[in-house]
Chains A and B, each alone.
Chain A
């Protein structure tokens, strides 16, 4: 779980403590035995494994959903739907096709996009998403984490302008690569290679 290192310590009290005895197991077990044993536990419909999954990924997924949906209330609804779908469909997850987080991310993104297409929802992209959302996240991080984590803005500032552009459009504004290509009149191949270069830079910064 690469993302765990910056997990807000203030949220620890939110951990679900099962009525049984395996609280220790549920929170520490998978760090040692890895993603495969977590998946096995989930497929075995282990409630504490699911709680662990939520505690570790709900934030990242809500970030993704919120950036597509733009409305906090609806985004949390979609987050709940996402985890219910993960719970119901875990048997269809196949490690051969990618990591568990990637699979969950696709579930979340698809549900969020479906939501934006529903009648109750009128799609309106906000302008200045990067500045506003990064600002919001930074504020949150400062409140909850203190200063031990490099700010997202600092991280993105390591990218070239072109690279920042595609990361911003996709990860912060929820554009697909085709949408970026169409709206900003860039060849799809160019969007792809820029995205690749951007990810390589981030990889070196994020994964040590």
Chain B
């Protein structure tokens, strides 16, 4: 834009006199912000106009000022301060303080949240560990009780130990029976027996008067005594066969794994 031609057109005088349409005014205001020379010229024009109009002043009666100030005071008494005004007092400081507070609070909130989350995680770990320890303790305790019980049986002179050695089909097999001839209780201890398929079970037999008597079925269990069915006096031999799951009324001789005499 040719600033000098623009100024020479007299548009700034028209602007200062309030003669322009709102569209023209907006255009001048846009240029004022772009060209400092225009701003300077307008300032000079406004000063000249102000000086001229001061020359042409007509003083009002003093009563005009009195009633004006009275009206202002009346308005101020009933006026609700505008938001802009109450803010203008020191809103920057209020905003700065609020932002600072928000930042600090957020930091603490985040910090405490992460601490809380860590604590919560640690606590649930501890609870889980504690449960595991309690379970382990129970397991150990149960085993200990059982071992104590087994030991009582093994050390009890009322129990006769019958060692059953491997047959021809299972030369390395080995198991023992503890039999209390008074109470008729029978316990079995497995040293070496082979794994069975899922549809098979071992069955213990006692031979009384030349006949095999069922003394109960069992699965391969090592490290502890198994309680079997009571066996009446008169048994001379104990033997273990492999039978279909649940056992059979009479033994399958071909599957005999171990046998031993009293």
Interface residues of chain A, those whose CB is within 8 Å of chain B, are 2-3, 6, 8, 11, 14, 16, 43-45, 47, 50-51, 54-55, 58-64, 66-67, 76, 79-80, 83-84, 87-88, 91, 96-99, 101-102, 105-106, 109-110, 133, 136-137, 140, 144, 149, 152, 155, 170-172, 176-178, 189, 192-196, 199, 202-203, 206-207
State whether A84 and B68 are in contact (beta carbons under 8 Å apart), knowing that A177-B17, A195-B14, A199-B48 are contacts in the complex: yes
Contact A206 B60 (CB under 8 A): no
Knowing that A47-B72, A189-B10 touch, tell me 14 more A-B residue pairs with CB under 8 angstroms: A51-B65, A51-B69, A60-B53, A62-B57, A98-B42, A99-B46, A101-B49, A193-B9, A193-B10, A199-B45, A199-B48, A203-B44, A206-B48, A206-B52
Distance, CA A47 to CA B47, complexed state (A): 25
A8 neighbours in B (Cβ, 8 Å): 59
Bitwise, B27-54 to A at CB < 8 A (1) or not (0) is: 0010011000000001111111111111
Asked if B85 lies at the interface with its beta carbon under 8 angstroms from chain A, I say yes
B44: chain A residues at CB < 8 Å are: 203, 207
A63 contacts which of B18, B29, B53, B82 (Cβ < 8 Å)?
B53
**Least Cβ distance of A100 to chain B in Å?**
10
Task: State the Cβ distance, A31 to closest chain B Cβ, in Å.
Answer: 15
Closest CB in chain B relative to A38 CB, distance in Å: 14
Q: Are B19 and A58 in contact (CB under 8 A)?
A: no
Query: Are A96 and B33 within 8 A (Cβ)?
Result: yes
A149 to chain B, nearest CB (A): 8
- Of residues 59 to 108 in B, which have CB atoms within 8 Å of A's CB atoms? 59-62, 64-65, 67-69, 71-73, 75-76, 82, 84-85, 88
Q: Is B192 an interface residue (CB 8 A)?
A: no
Distance of A8 Cα from B51 Cα, bound (Å):
14
Complex CA gap A96/B36 in Å reads 12
- Please, what's the 1-or-0 string for B5-35, where 1 marks a CB less than 8 Å from any CB in chain A? 0011111111111110000000001001100
A91 near B54 with CB under 8 A, answer: no
A64 engages B32 (CB within 8 Å): no
- The answer to whether A64 touches B29, judged by C-beta atoms less than 8 angstroms apart, is no
Residue pair A192, B54 in contact (C-beta under 8 Å) = no
Dominant secondary structure of chain B at its interface with chain A: helix
Q: How far is the CA of A112 from the CA of B60 in the complex (A)?
A: 15
Could you say which residues of chain A place their CB within 8 Å of the CB of B8? 193, 196
Question: Which range contains the number of B residues in contact with the other chain?
Answer: 35 or more
Cα distance, A98 to B39, chains bound together (Å): 9
Closest A residue by C-beta to B55: A152
* A56, B32: Cα distance in complex, Å: 27
Task: Please judge, given known A-B contacts A44-B85, A83-B68, whether A102 and B56 are in contact too, CB under 8 Å.
Answer: no
In the assembled complex, the CB of B32 is this many whole angstroms from the nearest CB of chain A, namely 7
A-B residue pairs in contact (CB < 8 Å), sample of 6: A59-B58, A62-B57, A102-B16, A105-B49, A171-B53, A202-B51
Q: Quick one: closest A residue to B9, CB to CB?
A: A192
The 6 A-B residue pairs with the shortest CB-CB distance, nearest first, are A3-B54, A59-B57, A192-B10, A196-B10, A203-B48, A206-B51
Partner of B9, one of A6, A63, A189: A189
Nearest CB of B to A67, in Å: 8
Q: Within 8 Å CB of B52, what residues of A? A: 171, 202, 206
Q: Which chain B residues border A195 with CB–CB below 8 Å? A: 10, 13-14, 17
Contact indicator A60/B69 (Cβ below 8 Å): no
* B29 with A84: CB separation less than 8 A: no
Which A residues touch B43, using CB under 8 A? 99
Over the window 101-123 of chain B, the binary record of Cβ atoms lying under 8 Å from chain A Cβ atoms (1 yes, 0 no) is 00000000000000000000000
Q: Which residues of A contact B55 (CB under 8 A)?
A: 3, 6, 137, 149, 152, 155, 206
Contact A80 B64 (CB under 8 A): yes
